[in-house]
Amino acid sequence: MEGVDHLAHERNKTEFDVDAMKIVWAGSRHAFEVSDRMARLVASDPAFQKDNRTRLGRKELFKNTLRKAAHAWKRILDLRLTEEEAGRLRTFVDEPAFTDLHWGMFVPAIKGQGTDEQQQKWLPLAYKMQIIGCYAQTELGHGSNVQGLETTATFDPETDEFVIHSPTLTSCKWWPGGLGKISTHAVVYARLLTNGQEHGVHGFIVQLRSMDDHMPLPGITIGDIGMKFGNGAYNTMDNGVLKFDHVRIPRNQMLMRVLQVTREGKCVQSNVPRQLIYGTMVFVRQSIVADASVALSRAVCIATRYSAVRRQFGSQDGGVETQVIDYKTQQNRLFPLLASAYAFRFVGEWLKWLYTDVTQRLQANDFSTLPEAHACTAGLKSLTTTATADAIEECRKLCGGHGYLCASGLPELFAVYVPACTYEGDNIVLLLQVARFLVKTVSQLGSGKKPVGTTAYLGRVQDLLQCRCDVQTAEDWLKPSVVLEAFEARSARMCVARAQNLSKFENPEDGFAELSADLVEAAVAHCQLIVVSKFIDKLQQDIPGNGVKQQLQNLCYIYALNLLHNYLGDFLSTGCITPKQASLANDQLRSLYSQIRPNAIALVDAFNYTDHYLGSVLGRYDGNVYPKLYEEAWKDPLNDSVVPDGYHEYVRPMLKQQLRNARL
């Protein structure tokens, strides 16, 4: 039935102002209005249709992506959209494309690492898309270990040029998005060699293809690395391979904001502190955390709506069956994911503030908070992307068999999202970096050096090693100070224990290698504390809207107490809480699930996603799932003919016992 809201009965139960929650989710009324306008603009334009994407072959899929990217750029120019509006429009087109790397990596690399002159030359071309760029760092043989990159850039003083070369097969650039078929230029990372000496890895702007016929320039071998995981999904992106054979570029195409190479080949440190480069890293990781909340919220929106539509078991005397969302097992799996989406949203919001703060400090030559900001963003990138990838898959399972259909939107969402666990830092490698920082912080406590930012709690380590949780009733777990102390004590005790175990090794590096799995656990505990504390901080703000703050409080405690339940071993083994208190936390969780239940649909409506952006028959706003699922099935190319191709050659001979004579 068209035009009927099959979820109206759910929406009528809502106990808070959904429109006010939409503003909270978006971050501000302005952000909400821009997103809402751009989402509707994309959804109403047939050129951005995407429901056939998983059925297309690679060539057709890729060409379709190029068409959409060109159409999006035309709309941006025709409507004279601001940079903010253009970014939102590209988000809602919802198709990985070469433009992601151009705007997300190539342009920021030049802004962050180029001199004023270099920015004046290259940025206008990039902003007008007169050149299209990518970010060529990862190689076939090296990803996380950037210092192990093998591509070389050797300065030739006779010609005032750098010679870019791939000396081995493993030195081929491998994975950069946009590189395979489209990018005309790249920021290439290579080992700088001058006068026979090596000076570390630096970025160079290299033209890859002719601006006339798009053919690779001499000395450049370039192509796509092949199909990736999933149907549609990230196969819209031309991840590439790039091999250099002594390619020459002018000296002024090395990005020289921090280190300059003179005409004579001397390396001169500029007066710009090299730490400024970390500002870009904080920005990129902050945007990845923000993306995690978006991907997770999309999956949760689909699973929540479908859980309210789907009925199974529980009917008495032929009456209606029970909504799947009413089963406690479903709530126990689904509602913590809903809470996580909000938690990641707010920690992402805080990271935006951190980026601004770090940038201002760097410009004032204040580097005091940089190591902590670096560790914090590395850890949160790891924590949120791992949790989101796992959560999307859990949402697929929460949708039963239909979740496995491409029409559910979940397989493609998962396939597009999972690379986030690897790009911009492998998640385990990042947690090890966090662990190093935590151990160092603990080891310096005796010297009077006060921990800053998200590690400030370690300055109270003596109290946290001795404190005892005073929870006596289930309701006590709704006190922010109680929850915060439990998470701080757990993290502090784990950090101290790891540091003590490390000190037993003569060689610290041997100890780090041996205890790395334990160290990762301490890093996770620290990062979970950050997310919990920032959610609690959010609740201290003035949040307008009837019932909005109450819902956010419920979600905050669901997030924290579910973590406590899942990591109970940490809390019990460190003596932070007792088994009885853990049991009370579980009682409180069940109560919170019951309070969230009537508001579940409204809480996902607050994400304000159009049906186009969700791309899911199961997650439709109107809940009209079954007729649409049936309709969708007939669109598959296999249903173009009643009798399939191949029947007469292969199946009929089997049925007629004529296989011996068949020409297979």
Question: Which residues make up each annotated binding site for FAD?
Answer: 138, 177
Collapsing DSSP states into helix, strand and coil, what is residue 382? helix
Closest to 483 (Cα-Cα) out of 560, 550, 537, 539: 560
Could you tell me if 135 and 187 are in contact, meaning their C-beta atoms sit under 8 angstroms apart?
Answer: yes
What is the DSSP code (8-state) at residue 153? Answer: E
| Torsions phi, psi for 186 (to 5 deg) | -145, 150
- Residues with catalytic roles: 424
Rg (CA), the chain: 27
| Torsions phi, psi for 70 (to 5 deg) | -65, -40
Both tokens assigned to 55: 């059925």
Collapsing DSSP states into helix, strand and coil, what is residue 205? strand
Q: How far apart are CA 174 and CA 240, in angstroms?
A: 6
Closest to 191 (Cα-Cα) out of 240, 151, 249: 151
Contacts of 184 (CB under 8 A, 6+ apart): 131, 132, 133, 207, 208, 209, 211, 214
Q: What share of the chain is helix, strand, coil (3-state, %, to 5)?
A: 60, 10, 30
Q: How far apart are CA 66 and CA 70, in angstroms?
A: 6
Could you tell me if 518 and 429 are in contact, meaning their C-beta atoms sit under 8 angstroms apart?
Answer: no
* SS3 readout for 256-324: CCCEEECCCCCEEECCCCCCHHHHHHHHHHHHHHHHHHHHHHHHHHHHHHHHHHCECCCCCCCCCCCEH
What are the Cα distances from residue 441, in Å, to 192, 444, 487, 611? Answer: 33, 5, 18, 47
Q: How far apart are CA 151 and CA 174, in angstroms?
A: 12
What is the DSSP code (8-state) at residue 615? Answer: T
- Exposure string for 150-187, b = 16+ CB within 10 A, e = fewer: bbbbbbeeeeebbbbbbeeeebbbbbbbbbbbbbbbbb
Q: How many residues does the chain have?
A: 664
Closest to 331 (Cα-Cα) out of 18, 605, 17, 598: 598
Could you tell me if 495 and 442 are in contact, meaning their C-beta atoms sit under 8 angstroms apart?
Answer: yes
What is the DSSP code (8-state) at residue 165? Answer: E
Collapsing DSSP states into helix, strand and coil, what is residue 465? helix
Contacts of 292 (CB under 8 A, 6+ apart): 344, 348, 384, 385, 387, 388, 420
Could you tell me if 495 and 486 are in contact, meaning their C-beta atoms sit under 8 angstroms apart?
Answer: no
Beta carbons within 10 angstroms of residue 15's beta carbon: 12
Could you tell me if 292 and 337 are in contact, meaning their C-beta atoms sit under 8 angstroms apart?
Answer: no
Beta carbons within 10 angstroms of residue 587's beta carbon: 14
Task: Please report the sign of the dihedral spanned by the C-alpha atoms of residue 78, residue 79, residue 82, residue 86.
Answer: negative
H or E stretch at 32: helix 29-43
Q: How far apart are CA 404 and CA 397, in angstroms?
A: 8
Closest to 206 (Cα-Cα) out of 268, 135, 264: 135
Collapsing DSSP states into helix, strand and coil, what is residue 200? strand
